[in-house]
Amino acid sequence: MELIAALGGWPGARWLQGSATAYLIVSATHILGIGLVLGAVLPLDARLIGLVRAVPIPLLVPFLTRAAALGVVLALSTGLWLFTVRPGEYLANAAFLIKMGLLALALANIGWQHASGGYRAALAGRPPTAGVKLRALASMGLWLGLLLAGRWIGFL
C-alpha cells in the first residue's frame, strides 16, 4: 500500500490532480495512442484473417506495425500516468483489472504472433497459416475488449 500511496503522491500525479488542462492533455494523448493501436491493428488483423485482400501483406505490415507500436507506447505511458492520479481507486475497479488482464494477453499475443514462423512467412508474401489467422482474430478481440473495458472503468 505504500507504493500505491507513493504513486499518488509523485509530482506528475499531483500535477494532473491539480490541473484540469494537464489532465485533459494527458487523457487526450492516451486516447490518441488507443486510436493509433486500433487504427493499425484492426486493418492488419483483418488482412491477415482474409477479410480484406486488396493490399499485399508485405506492403501493409511495416507501416501498420510502426503505427501500432507508437500507439502502444503512447497508450501505456499516458495510461500509467493517468493511473497515478487515483491508483487505489483503479486497483479496486473490476473493469480496470479486466483491462489490465486483457492488455497482458494482447501484448503476449503480439509477441507470439511476431515470433511465429507463419507470420514471417506471411511477411514474405506467402498465405497466412491457420495459426497466424487465429492469433490475428484473437488480437482483434483482445484490443476491442480493451477498448470496452477502458470505457467501462468510468461506469464502475
pLDDT of residue 5: 83
Please list the pLDDT of the chain residue by residue as tens digits (156 residues): 788 888 888 999 999 999 999 999 999 999 999 999 999 999 999 999 999 988 999 999 999 999 999 999 999 999 999 999 999 999 999 999 999 999 999 999 999 999 999 999 999 999 999 999 999 999 999 999 999 999 999 886
Question: Among 39, 33, 32, which residue's Cα sits nearest to residue 75?
Answer: 33
* 30: exposed, middle or buried (Cβ count in 10 Å: 0-12, 13-18, 19+): buried
76 Cβ contact list (under 8 Å, min separation 6): 33
- 128 three-class SS: coil
Distance (Å, whole) CA 20 – CA 18: 7
The pTM is what? 0.91
Question: Among 116, 151, 154, 155, which residue's Cα sits nearest to residue 133?
Answer: 116
Cα torsion 85, 154, 148, 68 to 10°: value is -30
Cβ atoms < 10 Å from Cβ of 66: 12
pLDDT of residue 56: 92
* Grid-cell match 497515478, residue found: 84
Look at the chain and count its residues.
156
Cell of 4: 500505491
* Grid-cell match 497459416, residue found: 129
pLDDT of residue 94: 96
pLDDT of residue 150: 95
